[in-house]
Structure formats: structure tokens, C-alpha cells
Amino acid sequence: MIGEVAPADAPPIVAAAPVDLPSSERVPADAPSIGAVTPADNCPVSIQAIANAYRDYTKKSLQETGSFVEKLVAVRSFDKAIEVQTEFARQAYANFVAESQKICELYSELAKQIIVRPWEGFAAKVTQTGR
């Protein structure tokens, strides 16, 4: 259990010795490991870049909503209120679509970096050694 101390007379924990696999089951040293993720610093697109895109969109959306509320409060006629609301809805929808596409592209690029690119180099090496 976490936080418990082993008794003084307990045998020491020893790591298991590495197992030598037959050559048919060995993985090349330069092959990407399953579940390996490249560090965010080395990637042009990272989880942080996606989070920043969400943050920027949220910040922009809140600013535009504040501006809309100010304009709506200043309106004196029903027709003008409908006009201000319609313009806000049109602008909010356009921004939502644009930012969603941008974020979707970031996710797509991140997926390519994590899944496809490590295997491209491996596949190239395999085809070169097969010749």
C-alpha cells in the first residue's frame, strides 16, 4: 500500500533480469515504441498549441459577447435590437466555424505527428534493407 514502510527484516526488492528474445521476436532499436509520444517541445503542434487555440477563441468570444451586450443596452428601438442581435449571431457563427476548423486542423496535424510520422522513417528503413 502507498505510504507503508517495509519491515526491516523484509527481503530487498530486486529488478528482474532482462529476457533475451529470439532474433525473430526482437524489435529494432530505432523502431518507435507503442504508446510513445514525442515531447511537446519537439512538435510543431502539441496539446499546448491546441489548448492555446481554445483559450484564444474563448477569450475572443467573451470579448465579442461583452461588446454585444453593451450595444444591446444602448439600443432604444426594437428594430435596432433585432439588427444588433442578428449581426452578433452572424459574426459569432462565422467565428465559431473558422475557429473550429483551425482547431480541427491542429488535432489532425497532432495525430499525424504521433501516429504516422514515426512509422514513415521506420518503413523507409525497412524498404531500404529489403533491397
pLDDT at 93: 97
C-alpha cell at 47: 496539446
Per-residue pLDDT tens listing for the chain (131 residues): 444 455 555 555 544 444 454 554 454 554 444 444 444 445 578 899 999 999 999 999 999 999 999 999 999 999 999 999 999 999 999 999 999 999 999 999 998 888 877 777 777 777 777 66
C-alpha cell at 7: 519491515
CA distance 61 to 66: 9
pTM value surpassing 0.85: no
Contact of 110 with 45, CB cutoff 8 Å:
yes
